[in-house]
Chains A and B, each alone.
Chain A
Amino acid sequence: GGIITQTPKFLIGQEGQKLTLKCQQNFNHDTMYWYRQDSGKGLRLIYYSITENDLQKGDLSEGYDASREKKSSFSLTVTSAQKNEMAVFLCASSINRQSQNTLYFGAGTRLSVL
């Protein structure tokens, strides 16, 4: 088995601030994902990475940057936090990007912007 660790668990930011979320996995999976979960809107993909140093945009990439410098880690940056924004950011990984591979999720980072 393995685990996905997301840090921090809770993040409180100020409007306009740049905020970075981190994700580590020890599954030795090739592919990693960042999803955003808003109440009533399900999960929406922000970025994914097929392998180290690869980045692919999802449906919600505007306002975010991502970085995959190592196979085991994937970070997400909110480039300018929006006032009153509240969401959970979920990191996930899969063995590779084959269509039948299950996603394994971390517990999430909960963001609040004042």
Chain B
Amino acid sequence: QEKVQQSPESLIVPEGAMSSLNCTFSNSASQSIWWYQQHPGKGPEALISIFSNGNKKEGRLTVYLNRASLHVSLHIRDSQPSDSAVYLCAVRDSGTYQRFGTGTKLQVVP
């Protein structure tokens, strides 16, 4: 069974800084990885996904996937107070469904 772990548990960064979030998973055959953003009282919303080794950039977001080290990271450039939320990493292999980590709570302070 896929295990997904996220670090750090919480992160405080100043406005304009880079936020870096980490996620490790247990199955190198995992095919698909997503990052979701969840604001208080709301459901998670998909931000960015990656399906092959390497990196992917969308706007202020960059995700890096290294299957050999079972590690994926999300970097948010020029962090804004509106980015303050819980970020969830989700991993799926071919046969089942997305499994989620416990989340990183990001706070961006002005």
Contact = CB atoms under 8 A, between A and B. Distances in A.
Contacts of A92: 43
State which size class the interface on A falls in.
20 to 34
Contacts of B93: 99
Query: Which of A33, A42, A92, A104 has its CB near the most chain B CB atoms (within 10 A)?
Result: A42
B43 A99 contact: no
B102 A99 contact: no
Contacts, number: 55
A45 B43 contact: no
Interface of B: 1, 4, 31-32, 34, 36, 41-46, 49, 51, 88, 90, 92-94, 97-103
Interface of A: 4, 33, 35, 40-45, 48, 58-59, 90, 92, 97, 99-100, 102-108
26 contacts: A35-B100, A40-B102, A41-B102, A42-B4, A42-B102, A42-B103, A43-B44, A44-B100, A45-B97, A45-B99, A48-B97, A90-B43, A97-B97, A99-B31, A99-B32, A99-B92, A99-B94, A100-B32, A100-B49, A102-B49, A104-B46, A105-B36, A105-B43, A106-B43, A107-B41, A108-B42
